[in-house]
Amino acid sequence: MSRLLLFSIVFIEGFCSLGAEVIALRQIIPHLGSSIVVTAPTIGFFLLALALGYHAGAKIDEGYIEVVAKNFLLAALLVGIGLAGIGVDLLFTALRPPELAYLLLVAGVLCPIAWLLGQTVPILTNLLLRERAGEASGEALYYSTLGSFLGSLSLSLLVMQWLGVSAAVALCALLLVIGYTLLRGPGWRTAVISLAVASLTGVANAWLRPEIETAYASYLVLPVQYEGAINGRALKNNSSFASLIDDSEPPLYARYIRHIRSLLLDELGFRERRILVLGAGGFTLSHREPSNHYTYVDIDPAVRGIAEKHFLGEAARGEFIADDARRFVIRSEQRFAAAIVDVYGSHSSIPGHLVTREFWLATRRVLEPEGLLIANLILDSALGTPYSRNLLATIESVYGRCAVEVLQKKQVLANVVVTCRNGQPAEPASLFIDERNSADFDLARSR
């Protein structure tokens, strides 16, 4: 085996092994979000499987090329089909709770990929004729790690951004098929097997996946029926309903959007005011609303074009800034009469860095002195879970007492609109008790 071929195989292994990890983390987001309690175990299990692969590869003492070729072929099938969007969606649809589907995805798809590809370097270093074992292993690890570095960057910053997640899956599977072909050499059997795996990968990632994919989310527009709607349609973001619109005059939007629009336009009478919207969704808050000036901030640069072309059918009203919501409120010098926080990456999943006290403190700096913070939260309708209670308490630790409105009280999960006013922090509350009842005094000084 030539040095060029050997190091090419090792490079492909590094590229695709870390590429599989990046893809898996992205595919899990629509179903479990991107919190540290999801990403850290995923990375940990991947590294454990990789270590076990190193150990298994070190014990191979014959048939080196045949073993690596077989591993590449199996890994190509697992990547091309197991990590395809349709495969992951079916898994999370079929199994409940979603944590069970996650474990099966990690243990049955991602870890076997890492274990198979982890065997490559210790096996192929047996074919490097060097006086020192350290030189052989060091050189192989260099090209493997270089492949991992380039794979993580190119897949996340180039392929997923411009072509979508399915293209990243297909690229990794195709590279592994190419590696298998190089290892096996020319022949009709090799060609047939390679073509079959490439075809299955193409079907799973192109024909069976109708969503519009970006590095940040998967979008799908589909017809829906809801009360009073005429030809209603929904924009799904990461398999969750994000926005509604129809052909009525005026259009019927999602209930929480109608609620917030009524609050801004009817109750507060906002006109010619600057309104910040963190989380673009379908851009329905400003749809056909010329009274105020809207600035949308969303981490996905492609979301505006997708919404205009496939959902709104017209230009979205307002300025659009592609940025992380927390980074924007920390750095922006603009001030707004209201800031709408609607930052769900998937159903009931807010990115972890957008729920902390530090984030809510940062939102105050982009508000006018008496500006409003309006947050759309998806919580249990009784507001009794630890997440609901602690999230609301975190917001009120920054803004003081806020108005909390549950919009769908009969549902298990509901839109909860929290409205807070920017101003001087409220003094700590004290309880009225029979021994020291200051109710009358407090009422008098509150008028």
DSSP assignment of 44-72: HHHHHHHHHHHHHHHT--S-HHHHHHHHH
| Mean pLDDT of the region 12-23 | 96
Query: What's the confidence (pLDDT) of residue 246?
Result: 92
Residue with the two structure tokens 């209603």 = 232
Instruction: Specify the higher pLDDT residue, 354 or 435.
Output: 354
Among the three residues 180, 209, 238, which one is the final residue of a domain in this structure?
209
Residue 72's alpha-carbon distances to 7, 118, 178, 258, 277, in angstroms, are 15, 11, 9, 53, 46
Query: What's the confidence (pLDDT) of residue 346?
Result: 59
Say if residues 125 and 136 touch (Cβ distance below 8 Å). yes
Assess whether 149 and 256 both reside in one domain: no
**Which CATH number characterizes residue 407's domain?**
3.40.50.150
Average of per-residue pLDDT values in the chain: 90
Query: What's the confidence (pLDDT) of residue 129?
Result: 66
Assess whether 76 and 127 both reside in one domain: yes
> Is residue 437, in this structure, part of any structural domain at all?
no
Q: Is 3 a residue whose pLDDT tops 70? A: yes
Phi first, then psi, for residue 402 (nearest 5°) are -120, 155
Domain count, the chain: 2
Q: Which domain holds residue 198?
A: 3-209
**Which residues, in sequence order, are CB contacts of 333 under 8 Å at separation 6+?**
none
CB atoms within 10 A of CB 134: 9
Query: What's the confidence (pLDDT) of residue 131?
Result: 55
> Is residue 144, in this structure, part of any structural domain at all?
yes
Say if residues 353 and 360 touch (Cβ distance below 8 Å). no
Query: What's the confidence (pLDDT) of residue 238?
Result: 79
Report the distance separating Cα 30 and Cα 220, nearest Å: 13
Where residue 30 falls among pLDDT bands split at 50, 70, 90?
A: confident
Assess whether 47 and 170 both reside in one domain: yes
The closest alpha carbon to 404, from 369, 375, 428, belongs to: 375
Where residue 317 falls among pLDDT bands split at 50, 70, 90?
A: very high
| Mean pLDDT of the region 160-165 | 84
Q: Is 373 a residue whose pLDDT tops 90? A: yes
pTM tops 0.75, yes or no: yes
> Is residue 254, in this structure, part of any structural domain at all?
yes
Instruction: Specify the higher pLDDT residue, 428 or 14.
Output: 14
Q: Is 236 a residue whose pLDDT tops 60? A: yes
